[in-house]
Each structure stands twice: as C-alpha cells, then as structure tokens.
Amino acid sequence: MDFDRNTYMRFACDTGGTFTDLIVEDDNGALTMFKSATTPDDPVRGVLDALSHAAKDRGESLDELLSAGSMLIHGTTHALNAIVTGNAAKTAFLTTQGHPDILVLREAGRLEPFNFHIPYPAPYVSRSLTFEIPERVDSVGGVMLPLDENAAVDTIAKLKKQNIEAVSVCLLWSIANPTHELRIGALLDKYMPGVPYTLSHRLNPALREYRRASSSAIDASLKPVMTRYLGSLTERLAESGFKGRTLVLTSQGGMIDAHELAERPIHAINSGPSMAPLAGRYYAGLDSKLPNAIIADTGGTTYDVSLVRRGRIPKTRETWIGQPYRGHMTGFPSIDIKSVGAGGGSIAHVDEGQILHVGPESAGAVPGPVCYGGGGSEPTLTDACVVLGYLDPKFFLGGAMQLDVKAARKAIDNKVAKPLGLSVMQAAASVVGVATENMVQAISEITVNQGIDPAEAVLVGGGGGAGLNSVFIARRLGCPQLVIPETGAALSAAGATMSDLSSDYRAMFFTTSTDWDEKGANAVLRDLETQCKAFQKGPGKDARSHNIEFTVEARYASQVWEIEVPLRKSRLSGKADLASLVADFHASHEEIFAVRDEESDVEFVGWTATVSCGVGHKRTGRLKHTADEDVVIGRRKAYFESHGAVDTAIHSLHSLKPGKTKKGPAIIESPFTTIVVDPDAKFMLAPSGSVVITP
Amino acid sequence: MSNAKRKTKTSHTRTKPKPRQLDGGKLAILANRFGGICSKMGNTLLRTGRSGVLNRAKDFSCCIVTRDCELLHAEESLPIHVLSGPDLMAKSMQEFHPNLKRGDVFLHNSPYHGNSHPADHTLLMPVIDKKGVHHFTLLAKAHQADIGNSIPTTYHGTARDVYEEGALIFPAVQVAENYEIKEDIIRMCRMRIRVPDQWYGDFLAMLGAAFIGEREVLALGEEVGWDMLHVFTEQWFDYSERRMITAIKKMPHGTGVAKSTHDAIPGTPPEGITITSKATVDTKKAMIEVDLRDNPDQLACGLNVSEACTRTSIMIGIYNSVDPTVPKNAGAFRRVKLHLKDGGVVGIPRHPISCSASTTNLADSVQNATQRALAAIGDPLGMGEIGCFCPPSTSVVSGTDPRTGKPYVNQLFLGHTAGGAVAYQDAWLTMLHAGNGGMCFIDSVELDEVYTPIVVKTRRLIPDSEGAGRFRGAPGIEVELGPIDCRMEAGFVADGNINVPQGARGGGDAARSDQFRRQASGRLERLDQCSQVWIEDGEMMVSIACGGGGYGDPRKRDPERVRHDVEEGLISRKRAREIYGVSITATNKIDLKKTKELRRLRR
C-alpha cells in the first residue's frame, strides 16, 4: 500500500555541540538540509533559528512553515550538558541501611594504572545527601528486615529541610521484591508532594545495585531541568505556529513524545548521536550488499563510531557519561557508540621523544584550527587537510568562511615538520595518518566487541569532516566499500526522519538450558508483549506500521557478562525451539569471542521486548538537486602519502552524473562537506545520492 | 607434512634489506596497532571468563613480547602481572621448546621459571609466520579461582613449601598443538582443580584471547612486513628509553632508604618481615637504581616473592612516580637497574620454597618500601603506602551451595580501598592493593548473593581511618558478610594490624586492619590475620580493611578539601581540628580565624 505523502511535513532537528542541524521533509518526501549555530544559553533559540532559516529559504514566514508541519523530531544534548556543567537538580539518594557507599565505590576499575594525576571521581550524589533506610530484602525477594516506615518518614523530613529538588531510591534487591521501594514512593508522595523521584526497580529493573542506583540518581536529577526544557520547547514551538507532535530522540535509537521523556529523562542522554546508525543502516542498505555497516560520524572534537550487524543496531548495557571508571554509568542500554577524541579540531603535537600525537586535545570551535584565523596556534587535523590541498580555502562551508593556508602551513612546519625532520607535506600527511589510525582503533575496538570483520562491512561516513580521510580509514580496515550519504553532514538529523516511535520493556527471569522453564519464559514474554501492545495502542496509535522484537541476554554457566540473542519467535515451544535458541547462542558466542563451549549449560537472564511504530515515510526522500551535468569545476594539487603531490580534479557534488564510475584522484565538494578520493580509489555517485567509493 | 621437524628460526637472519627507519607518525601508528591487539585479547578474557576473579574482578592481563623475549606492550594490564615476568616466561618457553610451531600454546604458572605465582595461569602463544619463523609471543594471564592447592585458597600463606601448598606447577607445558587442545593436560587438571568446569571455562577464555591475538599479529605482519615490525620494536624501545631519560632528568637527585613491615603469620619470625628498599635517582646518568639485597632469606611460608613479582613490584614503585605517558617496555626498563638477593624472601626464592601469595602481601611491601624510599629523596617522588591485602572481604570462600547442592569456590572482591596519596593528588580510592593499581572491579553485592550463598550486611567506608596528609590516603572499609542456610569456609592472609600503612614525607598512617567472627549471640571474636576458618550458619565475618598512607604535612592540606571531607562524613570535626588544624563550623564552613590559629600553634 502506498503511503499518502500529501498529508504532512516533518522537521528533524538535532542540536549538537557546535551546530543545530535541521532536515525538512516536504509533503512529497523531498529533503532540505540547514545548519545554524547552537546557542548553549538557550538551545530552543537555535532550533527556532534553524527553522527560520528554512522558512526564509522557502520564502515563507516561520508561522507558515510551522503550521504546515505535523511532527518535529528533536535530538538534544540538554540532559548531558546539565550533568556535565553541574546544573542538574540537588538530588538525594535513599538506599538500604549498611550500604551507603554504592555510588562512591561504583564497580571500581581504573584506566591508566600509573597515572595518579587523575582524581578519584566524586559520587553522582554526595555522601552528605545519601540516606540509609532500615530494611532488607534477599536475593529471592524474601523480607529479611521489614521497612522501618518511621525512619523513612524522618528521612523525608530531613530532605525537606535541605531543600532537596529530586529523590532517587535504590534498595538492594528491589528487583526481586519492590514493596519497600514502592512504599517509600508513596511516602514521598504524601510528605513531599511535587518533588520528583525515581524508583530504581521501575526505571531500570536490572541486577547489580550500582547500575540501578546510578540510573535512578541520574534520572531523578534530570527531571526538573528536562521538564522545564521540554516544556519551553513545546510552548515556544506552539507560539510560533506549530500544531503538530513534538518527539524527542532517545539513547536507544527510538523516539518518544516530549512529555513522556520528561518522565524518564535519562533516556535523553545520548539523544541525537544515537540516530547516526539509523541513517547509516538506511544508506548502507541502498548502496551496498555487504551484511554489516560501520557508521562513523566525524565531528569537531569527537569521532563517534557505531555498527549495524546484519541489519540490527547493537546496543551496549554500559553507557558512561564521561570516560569509563572516571564518569558515571547510566546503567541503561544505549546504541553502542564508541566515541574517541579525534576530529577536525584535534591538535597535533610532537612529544619529547619525537613521536607524533594527534588529539585527544582539541582546538574546539574556539579558538578552532589555526586556518580559521580565530587565534588558534596549535596545528590541527583540519590544518593538515588545508595544507595537503584537500580543503579549498575559499569554499569552506560553501564559502561562508575563508581559511588561512599560510598560517596552517607555518604551524605544521614549526610544530610537526621541524621536530620530526620531515617536509611540511610529509608532516601534514603524517598528521592525517596518525588521526586515521586513532579512528581506525576506535572502529576496531567496537567491531571486535561485536565480532564483526570490517572486510565484510561497508563504512558509512557522516559528519562534515568525514570525507577528508574516510578513504584511508576504509582501506586500512579492509572495508571493501565506503559510502558518504548526501545527508552525511547532518547524519543524525537524517536518521531522525527514519526513526520509529519506540519503547523497550525488560524483565529478569532466570532459567537454563538444562532446567528449562518453558512456561515461565513464555509468561515473561507474554507480559512483555502486553506492554508493547499497550504502547502500540497509546503513543503508537496513528502509526503506519508496528513491530515487536524479542531478545534474551544469555551466557554460559558462571559467566557474568551476557550477550544478546534475538528470539526467532514471540513464544518458545518444545525442544526444537530451545535447541535453536541454544544454537543461536553458541554461534553468537563464537562469532564474538572465537570460542564456544558446547558442553556448558546456557543461562538465560534478561528478556527484552522492543516495540517500534513506524511514523515516517516508507522511503526517505532525496535532497533536492539542481544540476545533473558531469563537469569538473576545477583542478588543484593535492598531496597523498604514497603518491606525493598530484594534480587533482575538483567536482561539485551536484555536478556529478549518477551511476558513472570514475578513478581518483578527485575531490568532491558541497556546501556542507568535502570528499577526498586518493589516486588508488574509484568513486561513483549512486542513484541514491550517496558517493560510493571503492578504496 | 613434516611441520614438526621444521626448525623454527628465532635468529635474526634477514633475507631482505633492512627497512628504512620509521618516522614519528609511523611509529605512533604501529604502537597503536599493537595496543589495539592487547585490548582485543583483554576484552575476550573479561567477557568469556567463568570465575568471578576473572569476569567480575578483572584479575587478568594480556601482553606481547618480542622474539628476543623483551616486553613490548602491556598497557591497561594489572601492573603486578606484567612489568617483569612475561620476558622470563617467554625465555623459559623457548628454552624448553626450541622448535616452536604455528598453533602451539603453552601453559605456564611456575614462579621458579618467571611466573608471578602459581594461581596466575598463563597461556603463551608464539606468533609464527607462514615460513615457520617466530616473531612475537603473546601472553594471556589470569588469576584462577582454584589451582588444586591443598586447601581451597589460591593464597596459601602458611605453606612451608610447594608440596604443602599443593598447586599443580606447569613450567611452560604444551597444551595445544596446531590449534588443537591436548586433552591429557586437561584431564589432569580436571582431576586436581576444584570446580573443574569453571577452570576449564576460564582456560577456554584464555585460549580464545590467545587465538584472537595471534590472528591479529599475523595479519599485521603480513600487511606491513615482519622486518618492518622488528625495526619498529627497536625504534619503539629507543623512543621509550629517550622518554624515560627525560623523565628521570626532571626528578630530584639522591638516595633514599625505607622499610615496610608485614605482620607476622605462622612461618615468619614473631616480629613479622621487614623489607628494606634503597632507591637512587641519578639524574646525571638518567638511571634509577634499586637495591633489595639487604633483606631476609627465604622463609618456610607462602609469602616469598617470586623473581618476576620482586622485579615488577620495584618497577611499579618506580613507575608510579614517572610521567605516566612514558611507555612501560623493555626500552624504558634500560634506565632501571635492580639488585636482587638470590634465595631472598624477596628476590629470587628457590624451588621448593612456596611463592603462593607472591603477588600481594610481601610484593606490596617491596613496592611500598620503594615508593617511600623515593619519597625520601624529595617531593614529588613516591607515595604513601598503599593498604594491605588480603582482608576477609577478599577471602576465597567455599562450601556447598544449599540452593543447588553443588560445591563452589571463588575469591570475593567485596570491599577494598587501600589507595595511597601522591604529592599532587588524594588517593585513588579503590586500589585493592599496591600491585593491582586499582584495575580490579569490586563485586556487586547482589551479584555475589546470587552466585554464592552469602548475605552482605554492611559495606561502608570508615570515618577517620585515612592516612592524613597534604594529600590524603583512602579511608578503610568495613564489610560484614556471612553464609545463608549453610556453613562456609573462608581463607585470607590479612596484614596491616600491627604494622599499618605508613604515610610519606610527613603524611599520616592509615588506621589498622582487623577481622572478627560475629557469633550468633552477637559477640565479636577476633580471628587470626592469616586464617582458614569455617563460618557457621547464623554467624557473620567482619572485615576491617585498611586505607592508605597520606603524603606531606596534613596541616598544609587545603582547608577546603578538609571541609569537604567533613561534609562528606569521611573525617570528623575533631580530626579536622587535631590532625589537619582546620576548624569547621556546625554548618560546615571553614572558621578561617580559628584555622589560622590552629595551624600557627602547631608549628
């Protein structure tokens, strides 16, 4: 059935650290892309700026544009920023008596065992705002010590006195028996009405008290700020004429209504970046036959890598705010994104032993790379690309900014070439080489964790800087194909237009392959399915399509880290179903970890159902194109490590003829990005609008 | 195929001309790639290990040594596992097996041939190219939950020799040929190691790590050329040495001596064992020299420190004061000279004396003494002593799980702090013990209660127990745990009750450790520091583990840090006043006037 395209217009707006990206999806499915500066003091203004920009482009007023829209999908860094800048609410932590240091001890672990400069991280909620409640439940849900209600009420009185703005409650084994947590919730309602709180078993019914405690503490602390922010966003959009639905992207790669997210704001922490793999999956599907895709999003300071494994986007249960062991664990699965400090702004320096390093220090947006002329003095990856002739100093961001080549060359010469005894060009190529290797390591790490061989994967490059060295990255990894989608410069926003309304439901239920409790497992699956169906009938009632996926987290007996195995059916019946599930587990384990243990019992621990409701177009549209002449718009010298300086053809993305394979060297430019193809690679503009490169 | 007969070339015959020197960019890239291989191996071990000591506490390491048995890469490993040892083990592998073949794997846990202690099973896998030439050796090392000791613990503190200790010793014994496991060895282990399925699962995890590492190094060698990799290793060592020279030249020059004493246990003299370390920083020659010869002879107990651990402990003590970005490898080690005693309790203990607890107790004393010897030379060198291992909260527990009727054995990591302060930062709280460097995870109470029939009643930091200082040590931690519906055997070798973790350069000592049985009546009964005890149903075990020593004069501590510690309930107002000379009001403000007075008075 063809979807009626004349019903609405949609906006996808992703607020990033530097830019707010907007994609407008027209009534007929055509896309237009806009960028405006992010306004950290009032991010809603940045969103409205981008929308005004789009309205102007169409010759409409903001009100006209917005009133034609049915849906605005928003990716935001607001929750993350609130945590990083210390603007989250003053939060109290209530926990089981005897265990006040859950958030202090965390799960221990450390990076860099010889580095004593790094301070031990402060707990997410300080000890002075941590309160012990007399009660104890055991591992099977039995009450060892009943809840002392008087003590709980006394504690609440203390919270009021200290002007606590949010409360997190995490008791040991609340996942086995939630009665005590629920009772404390009721007491908070009664004695501290209006103050938001989060109960750990409700938010995140997972084993391991630190993870649950951390989840609930982070969530509670974000409730006031995200309620305000999302309220302001929807209000001001409405004031500007928007009558549609406002949805926000979640860390899990779905989206939910803004008011729902305000209830569970922890899910907004990776809002935005989580969309890149969605877009990557779509474009990889259009342009490549390979089973897996690696999606790499290049920003100014970070390089974010995610995966698509046989059409599925893997999630990780370990999401950290900040570095592992030095930051805070959200305790929630999120799209598995590995972020490293490597980007256009990464600074190159030579250490006292004459080794070149690139990043993780970044020149950021201010002062920025030397060539921006904003006062930066340290050479960056962008400077190296200017020196090598990859970037046109006159056509940066479509000519919006002039680049200072001389200054970039001088910085590379003084700070890299001379200390290493190389020519300026060799030095600049080395900077690109080291940055490339840093990016490759980030990709290797995430692919090995998921058992993916890059030789069977297409690399999808997103972000404004992706085109500069993605050919080198793909070649180094052995990826047979590189795809730079036409919306690559705003990959997350593009992904948002493809996102589904979605929600995850999870339950703990332990059974094993030898003592298989089929009835129990099916009861859990039934319960999860019921929750999914309720979502379909609620937020998803106007959706075009519905889908429910079931997965189970399983492990060999006495392992403690599970791997996720998709279920082939919504219920399991008989020996054959169990056998195929166990076989799937062995296969996944071997794929990821190179060994299998056929003799071992398999333990099934956590069960998840993910409901998704399609609300977008079946197919994402193309950017509007104007020209289809295949012309070379210029030539310049570009320097490549293995070829030296080579006369290179410059193409405009909009002047390439689709379907024709050409040989490198070439540089393809658009207002949002520059794609470098070295002499050893071939490239083609695919009918999809992507540039497809064979490295 | 006469594969077995093909002689493995380990000599440096080069058929191709020597590749050109690599520039700083290329060196960085190859270093990164070797690092990536190590982390892939480590990830496999963590995710697939079966015992808690491996998959929860992360007590494992992966590293790469060159064909000349020099340590190339071991970042992000447990320090005590790797700085020295992999080199010695690789040497013994080559000595015992001169004809290495592709697909060979060797099990090594002999402390008499370069391993740390018998509980650390290590798999060595030579990387051999298509032509049969040996280029590198990979090591995957993991502390086992059990190794077949005479009692259910992997730290047999009182064993008078290796026979009483009872561990199966594998001096580089072949366990796989042509990538196939040798079942003979597996059967042997299954007969002598408790909970054999768990051991075998861990063995598979290590094997997976070795295979993954080998695959990667082979791919790297084929891609860039083996000669190029060997040029790289030489240049990388030179680079690391240059970095080390620069780092040493920035240090204060001089010699310091310090002692660290381990409390007595059965088999040691009643006054305990005192370790003396003499450290010299020579900034002119850019050398650091540590002399450990002035120490007792080996003793008839399990505390003797193997050669690998002695060397490593000294080096950790040194590297904790060196710019952390200096790579730790054979190149940097050229700037370190160690003097060990043959037949010493630390140094080179000889078979059949036991080195059962070689990675922790006295090894920590070696490191702590070395760190304080460096501190004696001058600020900012050295650090306060890191607290003692291993309190009852890190016991090896065993028994029969009443829920399944099956036996269990595992080491708990339920509560540790131990961090010592440095000249520029407060302690890293969760260090576990000196040689661990804080890499271990701490057990989730819930996870332990699922996997072991125990209940953890309390786990909390102890106020006023930190080593005070300009920068302070970690506070201690109290853990109370006991069996549920069964009895439980617990083994531990605690320290730090009589000889507490000392501060450095005027920093204060940490509070002492202790351990009790809480009888069913509620009465506390003190347990021996080194115990193998049964805790009955209804009884609890109370573990008081110490924190670490401070660095510098506590009266020079930033008053704001003192105020914050008071607010957080880590120190009392009384201690703030008496030890730190800072007056904190009832509303947690600094009373500047009183503070000034207090600090002046104490001069």
3-class secondary structure for A379-394? CEHHHHHHHCCCCCCC
Give the separation between CA A680 and CA A93, rounded to whole angstroms.
Answer: 59
What is the tens place of the pLDDT at every residue in B364-393?
999 999 999 999 999 999 999 999 988 999
What value does the mean pLDDT take over residues A447-465? 83
Q: Do A560 and B52 touch (CB under 8 A)?
A: yes
**Token couple for B145:** 């939950």
What value does the mean pLDDT take over residues A77-95? 91
**Token couple for A447:** 């692919």
Residue A599 predicted with pLDDT over 50: yes
- Of all helices (H) and strands (E), which one includes residue B550? none
Q: Residues of B numbered 413-432 whose beta carbons fall under 8 angstroms of chain A's beta carbons: which are they?
A: 413, 415-416, 419, 422, 424-430, 432
Whether the CB of B224 is below 8 Å from some CB of chain A: the reply is no
CA dihedral of B437, A327, A131, B520, whole degrees rounded to 10: -30
Residue A308, C-beta contacts closer than 8 angstroms, at least 6 positions apart: A277, A280, A281, A284, A292, A293, A295
Q: How many CB atoms lie within 10 A of CB A624?
A: 11
Give the separation between CA A357 and CA A360, rounded to whole angstroms.
Answer: 9
Q: Cα distance from A231 to chain B (closest Cα, Å)? A: 35
Give the separation between CA B277 and CA B346, rounded to whole angstroms.
Answer: 11
In three-state secondary structure terms, B286 is coil
Give the separation between CA B422 and CA B551, rounded to whole angstroms.
Answer: 6
DSSP string, A470-530: HHHHHHHHT-SEEEE-TTGGGHHHHHHHH--EEEEEEEEEEEESSS--HHHHHHHHHHHHH
Q: Cα distance from A689 to chain B (closest Cα, Å)? A: 34
> Which residues of chain B does A355 touch, with a Cβ-Cβ cutoff of 8 Å?
24, 27-28, 31, 239
Whether the CB of B438 is below 8 Å from some CB of chain A: the reply is yes
Q: Cα distance from B415 to chain A (closest Cα, Å)? A: 9
> Which residues of chain B does A98 touch, with a Cβ-Cβ cutoff of 8 Å?
457-460, 480
What is the tens place of the pLDDT at every residue in B203-256?
999 999 999 899 999 999 998 899 999 999 999 999 999 999 999 999 999 999
**Token couple for A22:** 């907007």
Residue A515's φ and ψ, nearest 5 degrees, are -100, 60
Q: Residue A1's pLDDT band (boundaries 50, 70, 90)?
A: very low
Q: Where are the beta strands (DSSP E) in A216-254?
A: 245-249
Q: Which of B135, B126, B45, B44 is nearest to B89 (CA)?
A: B126
Whether the CB of A455 is below 8 Å from some CB of chain B: the reply is no
Q: What is the DSSP letter of A655?
A: G
Contact criterion met (CB below 8 Å) for A327 and A305: no
Average model confidence (pLDDT) for chain A? 90
Whether the CB of B178 is below 8 Å from some CB of chain A: the reply is no
Q: Residue A6's pLDDT band (boundaries 50, 70, 90)?
A: very low
Whether the CB of B55 is below 8 Å from some CB of chain A: the reply is yes
Give the separation between CA A671 and CA B217, rounded to whole angstroms.
Answer: 42
Of the CA atoms within 13 Å of residue A180, those in its CB half-sphere come to 31
**What sign for the dihedral angle of Cα B31, B33, B37, B42?**
positive
**Token couple for B204:** 């598979």
Q: Do B48 and A593 touch (CB under 8 A)?
A: yes
Tell me what percent of chain B is helix, strand and coil, each rounded to the nearest 5.
30, 25, 45
What is the tens place of the pLDDT at every residue in A34-83?
888 788 889 999 999 999 999 998 899 999 999 999 999 999 988 988 89
> Which residues of chain B does A115 touch, with a Cβ-Cβ cutoff of 8 Å?
324
Which residue's structure tokens are 């090896």?
B396
Q: Where are the beta strands (DSSP E) in B442-538?
A: 454-461, 477-483, 488-493, 514-518, 524-526, 530-535
Which residue's structure tokens are 């040495």?
B241
In this complex, the residue of A107, A350, A592 whose CB is nearest that of residue B442 is: A107
- Of all helices (H) and strands (E), which one includes residue B143? strand B134-143
Strands A563-566 and A602-614 turn out to be unpaired
Long-range contacts of A51-59, Cβ-Cβ distance < 8 Å, separation of 24 or more: A51/A11, A51/A13, A51/A22, A51/A240, A53/A22, A54/A11, A54/A22, A54/A24, A57/A32
Name residues of chain B where pLDDT drops below 70: 1-19, 56-57, 75, 602-603
Give the separation between CA B324 and CA B377, rounded to whole angstroms.
Answer: 20
Q: Do B246 and A120 touch (CB under 8 A)?
A: no
Q: Do B567 and A105 touch (CB under 8 A)?
A: no
Q: Do A433 and B201 touch (CB under 8 A)?
A: no
In this complex, the residue of A108, A117, A127 whose CB is nearest that of residue B442 is: A108
Whether the CB of B460 is below 8 Å from some CB of chain A: the reply is yes
Q: Do A560 and B56 touch (CB under 8 A)?
A: yes
**What sign for the dihedral angle of Cα A324, A330, A334, A340?**
negative
Which residue's structure tokens are 């006040």?
A100
Q: What CATH number labels A84-226? A: 3.40.50
Residue A506 predicted with pLDDT over 50: yes
Residue A293 predicted with pLDDT over 70: yes
Give the separation between CA A182 and CA A213, rounded to whole angstroms.
Answer: 15
> Which residues of chain A does B23 touch, with a Cβ-Cβ cutoff of 8 Å?
356, 420-422, 426, 430
How far, CA to CA in Å, does A338 sit from each of A301, A658, B41, B382, B544?
Answer: 13, 33, 18, 35, 39
Residue B521, C-beta contacts closer than 8 angstroms, at least 6 positions apart: none
- pLDDT value, residue B33: 85
Give the separation between CA A172 and CA A133, rounded to whole angstroms.
Answer: 11
Beta-bridge partner residues of A565: A552
Q: Cα distance from B313 to chain A (closest Cα, Å)? A: 13
- pLDDT value, residue B507: 98
How far, CA to CA in Å, does B126 sit from each of B101, B138, B186, B221?
Answer: 8, 6, 20, 13
Whether the CB of A630 is below 8 Å from some CB of chain B: the reply is no
Q: Residue A629's pLDDT band (boundaries 50, 70, 90)?
A: low
- pLDDT value, residue A448: 67
Residue A487 predicted with pLDDT over 90: no
DSSP string, A459-481: EEEESTTHHHHHHHHHHHHT-SE
Q: Where are the beta strands (DSSP E) in B354-512?
A: 396-401, 406-411, 454-461, 477-483, 488-493
DSSP string, B198-231: HHHHHHHHHHHHHHHHHHHHHHHHHHH-HHHHHH
Where along chain A do its domains lie? 84-226, 501-614, 632-694
- pLDDT value, residue A338: 85
Q: Cα distance from A528 to chain B (closest Cα, Å)? A: 24
Check residues A169 and B11 and name the one with the higher pLDDT.
A169
Best of A106, A110, A126 to disrupt the B interface (most B CBs within 10 Å) is A110
Whether the CB of B181 is below 8 Å from some CB of chain A: the reply is no
Which residue's structure tokens are 């060297």?
A665
Residue A138, C-beta contacts closer than 8 angstroms, at least 6 positions apart: A144, A173, A176, B449, B455, B484
Q: Which of B120, B127, B128, B126 is nearest to B144 (CA)?
A: B120
Q: Cα distance from B36 to chain A (closest Cα, Å)? A: 6
What is the tens place of the pLDDT at every residue in A348-406?
999 988 889 998 888 877 788 999 998 899 999 999 999 999 998 887 777 777 899 99
Residue A370, C-beta contacts closer than 8 angstroms, at least 6 positions apart: A363, A376, A377, A378, A379, A380, A383, A404, A407, A408, A410, A411
Q: Do B246 and A353 touch (CB under 8 A)?
A: yes
Whether the CB of A3 is below 8 Å from some CB of chain B: the reply is no
Fold of A501-614: Dna Ligase; domain 1 (3.30.1490)
Give the separation between CA A131 and CA A134, rounded to whole angstroms.
Answer: 10
Q: Cα distance from A255 to chain B (closest Cα, Å)? A: 31
The angle formed by the CA atoms of residues B348, B350 and B356, to the nearest 5 degrees, is 85
Contact criterion met (CB below 8 Å) for B577 and B595: no
- pLDDT value, residue A630: 60
- pLDDT value, residue A466: 87
What value does the mean pLDDT take over residues A677-694? 93
Q: What is the DSSP letter of A169?
A: E
Q: Residue A145's pLDDT band (boundaries 50, 70, 90)?
A: very high
What is the tens place of the pLDDT at every residue in A187-234?
999 999 999 999 999 999 888 999 999 999 999 999 999 999 999 999
